[in-house]
Amino acid sequence: MDVSPSNTKFILLWLLCSIMMFNSVMCKVPCNEKDMNILLNFKNGVIDPSGMLSSWTWFTELDCCEWTGIMCDNITGRVTQLNLPCHANHPSVFVVGDTPDDKSHCLTGELSLSLLKLEFLSYLDFSNNNFKSVKYDSMGSQNCNGLSKGNSSKLQYLDLSYNYDILIDNLRWISCLSSLQYLNLGGILLHKEIDWLQSVSKLPSLLELHLQSCQLQNIYPSLQYANFTSLQVLDLAENDFISELPTWLFNLSCDISHIDLSQNHFRGKLPTTLLNIRSIKSLLLSANYNLQGPIPDWIGQLEQLQELDLSYNSFSGPIPTNLGNLSSLIELNFLSNHLNGKFPESLGQLSNLEILRLAENSLTGIVSEKNLLSLSNLKHFSLSSPSLVYDFDPEWVPPFQLQGTWLGFVSGKLPSWLFTQSSLKTLTIEHSSASFEPLDKFWNFSAQLDYFSLTNNTINGDMSNVLINSKFAWLNSNNLRGGLPQLSPNVSLLNLCNNSLSGPLSPLLCHKMKEKGNLVSLVLSMNNLSGELPNCWMDWKSLIHVDLGGNKLTGKIPHSMTSLSNLLSLHLNVNMFFGEVPTLLENFQNLLILNLGENNFSGAISKWKWQGIKVKALQMRSNQFSGNIPPQICQLSSLMVLDLANNKLSGPVPNCLHNMTALVSDTASVDKFGIRIPVSVNNFIFTLGLNIKGTELPYSNLVHAIDLSSNNISQTMPLEIFMLTRLQSLNLSHNRLVGSIPKDIGNLKQLESIDLSNNRLSGEIPQSMSTLSFLAVLNLSFNNFMGKIPLGTQLQSFTNLSYIGNPQLCGPPLTRNCRHDETTDNTKPMTEDGDDVDRFEVYSCFYMGLGIGFAVGLLGVLSVIYFNRACNHAYFRFLDRFYVTIIQKWNSVY
């Protein structure tokens, strides 16, 4: 067979490649023993619940380069990559304040920085694990003693982000990693590190710096320059910066392309002149709220800018017209500011624009198709200003197909072009008086939407014959009337609160669907719904949140409602329900919020089965519940809110309340409270209200409270109630409590409101109450307290109404002075009883004169009787009659 030169070359090339591949397989260098020892020492401090590191052991045939997450250089056998991020589970529903991700399978324990001693390591990723602490070894020193010459100088990528419990109090070791290009410590606590900028700016090769959600506080606002020479991405979002925007941020000498300072607390204005960030492509300053002043014209000179987000601030003035020159702009977000003036027609020239959000401003003038004429790529559009006039040609067909739009303050008719948007999936219309006629056309159009929000409009439409098909239908405060609509199986969230809907619940809940329903949240509160609860709840087992409060519903809770085993939040408050509810809690083992307040429920809550219940908020105020508060209620270890006010409960306050660990433990979730359902366009948080002194407060802000007021509770306050160190509100007013306030009340350092009024409490107010520095509401009125109100800035800040009805109380803020304070001259000598000498002498002379006068007068009367015979006989006859009368009366009684 003839072999051509070209074939010969191919055969030789194939043989050469085969030999090289054979050598790479057969002659692979084993893992370096030094590197293996470093890895095994690191593993000693790690807790591995899912066995992710089970291959990391001496007793295995696997070379350490074949261990999970490890990659080595084939020639040297040195470890080059360590890649062990954790993929957490994301629940569809979670309680606000709890960690939203399930990390029970992730690595935890101690994260040792000894890994940085791997000399050839270039890539290290432990992101999204669950490590609890960091061990520096000798890495925390400024001179990098933990690194031998050349150690870790090759590390280019370091990601430890979203290990939420790690606290790093210094970053000096970072400056030793001279080759680092990517650094992500997002979610790690760095609030104790005040020199973070100095450490990270020493990295000459750093391209990306991600320090979002680190609780950083110092951003060096007066620093003129920061020594970043290569930085392209700077992400400092969601920290605790409170200052003006730092000067060094706009003086960066590097070609930075992305700056994110969103969700901090910056204030002041943007610089008036353009400095050294001309190459920037993304500038995000959203949700700082206090950034103000005009949007400077220099932003229109950032020719490479693709993303500009100044939303949720206080910017004012007109939108600069030269923004129309930013031909690269893809997203422009000025949502929720104080911008005024006209909608610039120049924005209609941004042919690459995909997102334009201008809602919640004060724009004026007319908006028409001229403003949107060339926006052929527009996908998301929002516009909402009270003084803006919509004047679109009814025949105009836009060059774009929107995916989402938000329109507000529309009058007249809805823009006709809206109905041409066949790709629309999210629609919000609010604060509008526009005609939605013909309603049939509008409701049919809404069937294509995934997310549908109508809020504070004047639709006045009858919902009886409407079929809701959107996955999320938020239709509150629109004056909708008639009966309830029907639902398709697609609906997950339905909110029809604060309308004028009437009639029974059965049309919505009891109609048969061909497919299984997926309803997760049902909110029908603040309507005129009437009748009894239907007995068809077994068809809605997917429900986790039900709010029927503020209607005219009556009757008893039907048995089928106990089939809602997934229920997390149930609100039946402000209706006319009656009867006992003894089996409700034991069937709702996952229930977190129960609100039965302001009904006519009755019976003894001691019959309820409390064990194993996870409830966090229990509100049963203003009913007819009777009997004692059972000690079994203390088994509710997760309880954060207990509201049993205005019932007929009697007996003592249980002395086991300290077993409610959520009211004691410092690790309890306290930031927010509610149930959140993440969706593609929004997050819905359902919270519960708490009435304190006539003011309705959301539990999302006040999340540790006990209210037992307006009952017949007696005996003394148990000392255990003052062990609830997380308590923020305590109301025991209008009961029959006796005894004194224990000095242990000073343990309640988080207390914001306390009401002990209208009881039978006595004794002195303990001095420890003056140390409650967060106290904003205090009512001790109408008791039997005595003595001086303890001095201190706290208790004197309240008015006398907080102490009225305690006649033996004295001292500021009362006008009643205490006895030992009633002096006019502090230099006068005092008696042993605390009175000054002058006043004592006056009183002594007065009483002495009174005694002498009485003696002289008595002597004069006796003299007349003795020397005058007539007076003598008359006097003794009077004594004789008086004596006989007394004896007769005595005998008649006995």
The pLDDT value given to residue 176: 85
Distance CA 593, CA 391 (A): 47
DSSP conformation letters of 60-115? SSS-GGGSTTEEE-TTT--EEEEE-----B--SSEEBTB-SSB-TTS-EEEEEGGG
Distance CA 511, CA 540 (A): 11
Pairing assessment for the beta strands 683-686 and 675-678 based on DSSP bridges:
antiparallel
Q: Within this chain, do residues 596 and 658 fall inside the same structural domain, yes or no?
A: yes
Establish if 462 belongs to a structural domain.
yes
Q: What is the mean pLDDT of residues 583-595?
A: 80
Q: Is the pLDDT of residue 22 over 60?
A: no
Pairing assessment for the beta strands 314-317 and 290-293 based on DSSP bridges:
parallel
What distance, in Å, lies between the first and last C-alpha atoms of the chain? Answer: 152
89: left (phi over 0), alpha (psi -120 to 50) or beta: beta
Establish if 536 belongs to a structural domain.
yes
Residue from 603, 634, 602, 607 nearest 618 by CA: 634
The pLDDT value given to residue 616: 87
Establish if 371 belongs to a structural domain.
no
Highest mean pLDDT: which of 136-150, 285-299, 824-838?
Answer: 285-299
Residue range of the domain that includes 489 = 436-567
CB atoms within 10 A of CB 857: 10
Establish if 190 belongs to a structural domain.
no
Establish if 774 belongs to a structural domain.
yes
Q: Within this chain, do residues 560 and 706 fall inside the same structural domain, yes or no?
A: no
CATH number at residue 806: 3.80.10.10
DSSP 228: -
How does pLDDT run across 111-135, given as a tens digit for each residue? 999 899 999 999 999 999 999 999 8
Instruction: Average the pLDDT over each of 144-153, 199-208, 322-331 and give the range with the smallest value.
Output: 144-153
The pLDDT value given to residue 831: 40
Q: What is the mean pLDDT of residues 295-321?
A: 94
More confident residue, 641 or 840: 641
Q: What is the pTM of this model?
A: 0.80
Q: Within this chain, do residues 475 and 490 fall inside the same structural domain, yes or no?
A: yes
Q: Is the pLDDT of residue 466 over 90?
A: yes
Residue from 408, 461, 458 nearest 430 by CA: 408
The pLDDT value given to residue 862: 45
Q: Within this chain, do residues 543 and 598 fall inside the same structural domain, yes or no?
A: no
Residue from 723, 565, 693, 712 nearest 625 by CA: 712
Q: What is the mean pLDDT of residues 874-882?
A: 43
Give, for 852, the enclosing helix (H) or strand (E).
helix 837-867
The pLDDT value given to residue 282: 95
**Residue where a domain stops, chosen among 775, 795, 821:** 821
Establish if 716 belongs to a structural domain.
yes
Q: Within this chain, do residues 651 and 764 fall inside the same structural domain, yes or no?
A: yes
pLDDT tier at 16 (50, 70, 90 boundaries)? Answer: low
More confident residue, 473 or 675: 473
Q: What is the mean pLDDT of residues 175-202?
A: 92
The pLDDT value given to residue 565: 87
Residue from 78, 98, 102, 99 nearest 88 by CA: 102
How does pLDDT run across 654-704, given as a tens digit for each residue? 999 998 988 986 544 444 455 565 554 445 555 545 554 444 444 545 578
The pLDDT value given to residue 516: 83
pLDDT tier at 883 (50, 70, 90 boundaries)? Answer: very low
Q: Within this chain, do residues 507 and 587 fall inside the same structural domain, yes or no?
A: no
Q: Within this chain, do residues 716 and 606 fall inside the same structural domain, yes or no?
A: yes
The pLDDT value given to residue 687: 52
How does pLDDT run across 801-856, given as a tens digit for each residue? 999 999 999 999 999 999 866 544 444 444 433 344 444 444 444 445 445 454 44
CB contact set of 807 (below 8 Å; sequence gap of 6+): none
What are the backbone angles phi and psi of residue 695, rounded to the nearest 5°? -115, 125
- Average pLDDT over the chain, rounded to whole? 84
Q: What is the 3-state secondary structure (H, E, C) of 273-318?
A: CCCCCCCCCEEECCCCCEEEECCCHHHHHCCCCCEEECCCCEEEEC
The pLDDT value given to residue 671: 40
Percent of the chain with pLDDT over 70: 80
CB contact set of 404 (below 8 Å; sequence gap of 6+): 379, 380, 381, 424, 425, 426, 427, 451, 681
Distance CA 571, CA 595 (A): 5
The pLDDT value given to residue 613: 78
533 burial level (CB within 10 Å; 0-12, 13-18, 19+): buried
Q: Within this chain, do residues 771 and 696 fall inside the same structural domain, yes or no?
A: yes
Q: Within this chain, do residues 544 and 623 fall inside the same structural domain, yes or no?
A: no
Establish if 800 belongs to a structural domain.
yes
Q: Within this chain, do residues 475 and 485 fall inside the same structural domain, yes or no?
A: yes
DSSP conformation letters of 172-219? GGGGG-TT--EEE-TTSB-TT-S-HHHHHTT-TT--EEE-TTS-----
CA dihedral 319, 325, 328, 334 (to 10 degrees): 0
Q: Within this chain, do residues 554 and 448 fall inside the same structural domain, yes or no?
A: yes
**Residue where a domain stops, chosen among 821, 852, 877:** 821
How does pLDDT run across 426-460, given as a tens digit for each residue? 999 999 999 888 888 999 999 999 999 999 999 98
Give, for 486, the enclosing helix (H) or strand (E).
strand 486-487
Q: Number of folded domains in the chain? A: 2
pLDDT tier at 144 (50, 70, 90 boundaries)? Answer: low
Task: Report the largest interatomic distance among the alpha carbons of the chain, rounded to a whole angstrom.
Answer: 178
The pLDDT value given to residue 889: 39
Establish if 426 belongs to a structural domain.
no
The pLDDT value given to residue 170: 87
Instruction: Average the pLDDT over each of 56-60, 418-422, 788-792 and give the range with the smallest value.
Output: 56-60
Q: Within this chain, do residues 550 and 586 fall inside the same structural domain, yes or no?
A: no
The pLDDT value given to residue 139: 55
Q: Name residue 546's beta-bridge partners.
A: 522, 570
**Residue where a domain stops, chosen among 821, 854, 876:** 821
